[in-house]
Amino acid sequence: MVLLLNFAHPLTDAQLAEVSALLGARPDVRMIPTHVDRTQPVAVAARALADAAGLPPDEWQTRPLVINPPGLAPLALALLADIHGRCGYFPPAIHIRPVAGALPPRYEVAEIVDLQQLRDSARGRRYPAAPAGGEAGAAGP
């Protein structure tokens, strides 16, 4: 069963239904409170959040994971780096967006972003494409 590590606001029933539809099954949700001391280094806070997920090393490497990252961008990035180090890959992440025109404000699950696939496809853009009949990295005329 997929484990959703939720480092953000609790998901509503509607949002959880949207996640379940995108995953094809209802995930096991683990809520991890994310209030952090902003005076400490972000790497320290990220490690504490990852530790708070309570997963032993073998589960980090074998259990299917999806994350709902915290809203603070530097913390989300550091947490993602820490999780990658534990898992060996970038886990998919939930993208939640505001519902247009909703009063009071509401949020919906827009997609589940396959971060590992994004990373893998970006590797192909690391170097420019080789000219027809030439070798990659060959000097032009």
What does the alpha-carbon distance between residue 84 and residue 92 come to, in Å, rounded to a whole number? Answer: 11
At 7, the amino acid letter reads F
> What is the mean predicted confidence (pLDDT) over 120-127?
90
Domain spans of the chain, in order of start: 3-117
pLDDT band at 141 (very low <50, low <70, confident <90, very high): very low
pLDDT band at 128 (very low <50, low <70, confident <90, very high): confident
The contacts of residue 134 (CB under 8 Å, 6+ apart) are: none
Taking alpha carbons only, the member of 72, 67, 26, 28 closest to residue 50 is: 67
What does the alpha-carbon distance between residue 9 and residue 106 come to, in Å, rounded to a whole number? Answer: 12
Q: 20-53 pLDDT, tens per residue? A: 999 999 999 999 999 999 999 999 999 999 999 9
Q: Which segments of 60-126 are extended strands (E)?
A: 65-68, 93-98, 107-113
